[in-house]
Structure 1
Amino acid sequence: MPPTVCKALPYSSIHFPVCESTHRWALDNLRVLVSNHGLSSTRPVRVSTDSQTRGVGQPIKNQTLAGEFKTWANSSGNVFVTFVFPWLQRKMDSVVNLPQVASVAIVQTLQKIGVDSKVKWVNDVMVNGKKIAGVLCNATGYRLPSTDSNEEFTAVLVSVGLNVKSTPTLEASEFQPITSIADELQQSDVEASAVLDLLSIELYRTMGIFESRGFDSIHSALEQILIGQGTLVSIQQPAISPTSSSCDKLPNDEIFGKFIGLCPKSGSLLLKTVNSDTPVEVIGGRIRRGTIRRVIRKQNLARSSAIARILSADKLVSFDEFNESDREAEEGSNFGGPHESWLSSFTHTRAQIRQIVG
């Protein structure tokens, strides 16, 4: 069936009843979007579908757009959409923040519907520890027609999967609790089309603010909805800012520290570690929580020396923070997702640990 074209929104909107992937379709049809649907330096395009048969998730093992991606098994009745925005070539460095911008727009959309949500860094939107939405963004390098001879614009893709009526499933290896708007509101009459239009307007507004004012314009709003700020975390397969402090990695390409916030200029995660005088700036990776036991085990050190190294010298955490992280590890907390159970006990008693960390 041919797509439906809607012109009521600030986008040229294309809708398919069924599509393998809106992200892949948009990427493969940028020339068509320009020639047939008005994509330009002043006009974005929205590509949506009622049902995806092979949705695209995050790249596997830090692959590029041409590499391999995680796939979703998608259910109908949800929001599956890719927004194609014009972006100034001279501002391409800021494209790295688009997932965060989109996450803020999703949270604000859900708030208007009556669902309280948070952001798990970098760009997973969560409700009570369960994932409700995800974002995938890419710069395409495709140059767009422009009436401004002094500026060059290229197309960037912002794809959103938002569970409205049902809960799609990830590959078994990526399992985590999932929810939907219908589940949270206990209502079955929520329409994906209405949610899509609300999200489209909110994203258009947020992208406009970000484009004109930079990341600092959304920094405060994002920090208020971040999960895990102020807690101990590990970052798997971390991408460290080239201007950041150096830090020791654990086996399996992992770093450990206290998540103290976001850089107001770049949006990088700021991680306080025991062997760095200034916060380490992390620009990508997979965040996990409740990791003290994992760190001790992976370092393959005596438990006492590992605890002393991680917790003592610069007071990385207080005893209360250690106690809370230890409890969460016992309960299997991973920002709401299950993970392996850690070592069940330490040789140090609580009193001894209290003496170490003060």
Structure 2
Amino acid sequence: MFGLNTKIIGRRVIYFQEIDSTNEYAKRIALNEEEGTIIVADTQKSGYGRKFRTWASPRGGLWMSVILKPKTTPDHIVKIVFLGAVAVVETLERFGIDARIKWPNDVLVNEKKICGILTEGSFSEKEVYYIILGIGLNVNNPIPEELVGISTSISKVLGVRIPTEEVFKILVERLEHWYGEFLKGNDEKILQKWREKALLGRNVKIIMEDKEIGGKALDIDELGALILELEDGRREKILYGDVSLRFE
């Protein structure tokens, strides 16, 4: 899993057989750790996704976090999620899997979740101290019975087991490429690639903490907000929320 030939992502890899959470460990060491360091584990005891929802992390999956320290402002952080999703989709394409992105941070195959992406970090109003890009990708791991209808894995899609190390190396390569574009200021290139792979033009339901909104997911703006066309024709920008594709 080591010996990566990269400029930034994965110059240093910290590996655990078992850990509480790669994101939590990354946050503990981020300020004193070099940019691009990856924390990867065979299993996580306390893996989590957005809103600290439990993320099952048994052996066989790819559970990793990357420490990033871009010289940018906090309003650009969401693009780290987008470039992570694009990198995952391109990794899956190398194995002949056609994947799509559901705003803001899920990668789906046949409308079943195969990967979750989470960014956390430390920043002020004008400065980013560090960003943790967490990726949980189902490779060969079993899918919990209660999630079989909504989740899948690479091995389930292909019908064969794929070496996790091979998936890891390709993913790091694609992350290196797209993070490089981010550092060069090619934000629109990232967003356009995201659009090409995203589930847009669909009727969706946006689930927020205090309400739900239905409409058609049209696009994202330059800061990553989802542009939703409401039933009365008005358009609304959604900054936070969960998307359900099964909206009638």
Normalising by structure 2, report the TM-score.
0.88
Separation in 1, partners of 2:174, 2:152: 21
Distance 1:287 1:195, change over 3 A: same
Residue 222 of structure 1, CA deviation? 1.4
Q: How does 1:135-284 map to 2 (within 5 A)?
A: 135-141=117-123, 154-169=129-144, 177-188=150-161, 190-227=162-199, 229-237=200-208, 253-263=211-221, 265-275=222-232, 277=234, 279-284=235-240
Where structure 2 has 5 or more consecutive residues not aligned to the other structure, the ranges are none
Distance 1:8 1:231, change over 3 A: closer
Residue 8 of structure 1, CA deviation? 4.5
Query: Does the aligned pair in 2 maintain the 1:6–1:13 contact within 8 Å?
Result: no
Q: Which residue of 2 aligns with 1:332?
A: none
Q: How does 1:31-70 map to 2 (within 5 A)?
A: 31=31, 33-34=32-33, 39=34, 43-59=35-51, 69-70=52-53
Residue 6 of structure 1, CA deviation? 5.5
Query: Does the aligned pair in 2 maintain the 1:5–1:14 contact within 8 Å?
Result: no
Residue 112 of structure 1, CA deviation? 1.1
**Higher Cα Rg: structure 1 or 2?**
1
Q: Which residue of 1 aligns with 2:57?
A: 74
Query: Does the aligned pair in 2 maintain the 1:258–1:273 contact within 8 Å?
Result: yes
Separation in 2, partners of 1:82, 1:50: 13
Query: Does the aligned pair in 1 maintain the 2:120–2:132 contact within 8 Å?
Result: yes
Percent of residue pairs identical = 25
Q: 1:50 corresponds to which letter in structure 2? A: D
Residue 116 of structure 1, CA deviation? 1.1
Residue 199 of structure 1, CA deviation? 0.5
Tell whether 2:122 aligns with 1:122: no
Separation in 2, partners of 1:154, 1:176: 39
Separation in 2, partners of 1:5, 1:108: 21
Tell whether 2:95 aligns with 1:113: yes
- SS at 1:216 equivalent: helix
Per-residue CA shift, 1:155-178, capped at 9, x if unaligned? 1100001111023449x6x88521
Query: Does the aligned pair in 2 maintain the 1:95–1:139 contact within 8 Å?
Result: no
Residue 212 of structure 1, CA deviation? 1.8
Query: Does the aligned pair in 2 maintain the 1:233–1:288 contact within 8 Å?
Result: yes
Distance 1:13 1:213, change over 3 A: same
Separation in 1, partners of 2:143, 2:187: 31
Q: Which residue of 2 aligns with 1:298?
A: none
Q: 1:157 corresponds to which letter in structure 2? A: I
Q: 1:18 corresponds to which letter in structure 2? A: E
Where structure 1 has 5 or more consecutive residues not aligned to the other structure, the ranges are 60-68, 143-151, 239-251, 293-358
